[in-house]
Amino acid sequence: MEKERREVASLTKIMTFYTVLSLIDRFKIDVKHTFIKICDEVSCVIGTSAMLLTGDKLTIEQLLYGMMLPSGNDASHALAKFFGQILMKTDTKRPKDKQSRSTDTSDDEDD
């Protein structure tokens, strides 16, 4: 039985891949015609790499290949940033539910 400690990067990329596919379906995104511009933060990610350079513009499909074939941490990071921004935008447009409004006690008159 092997007891050597292992990194979970590959498992993380598989879950990122699954999550990205779910979000592509949810938001009806065209993976062949939606481009992501690579920023400095992404191009400087350490570890295994798809060799992305600052300023590159790649489709989501290309980044998915870059994440899974060479196990590119940089491609995974680019996809996570892109879809994270989409989720943040959709979350701010969603009205707060009744329960979260009721927890605000700053306007209570019983003080």
Lowest-pLDDT choice from 21-30, 76-85, 90-99: 90-99
For residue 4, being part of any structural domain is answered with no
For residue 107, being part of any structural domain is answered with no
Q: Which two tokens stand for residue 72?
A: 């590119």
For residue 73, being part of any structural domain is answered with yes
For residue 103, being part of any structural domain is answered with no
Reply yes or no on whether the pLDDT at 110 is more than 80: no
- What is the residue range of 62's domain? 30-86
Give the pTM: 0.77
Instruction: Locate the DSSP E strands across 1-111.
Output: 35-37, 57-59
- Counting the structural domains of the chain, the total is 1
The predicted structure's pLDDT at residue 5: 76
* Active site residue ranges: 10, 13, 71
For residue 64, being part of any structural domain is answered with yes
Q: 57: Cβ–Cβ under 8 A, 6 or more apart, which residues?
A: 35, 36, 37, 38
The predicted structure's pLDDT at residue 97: 53
Q: What is the pLDDT of residues 27-43, one digit of tens each?
A: 999 999 999 999 999 99
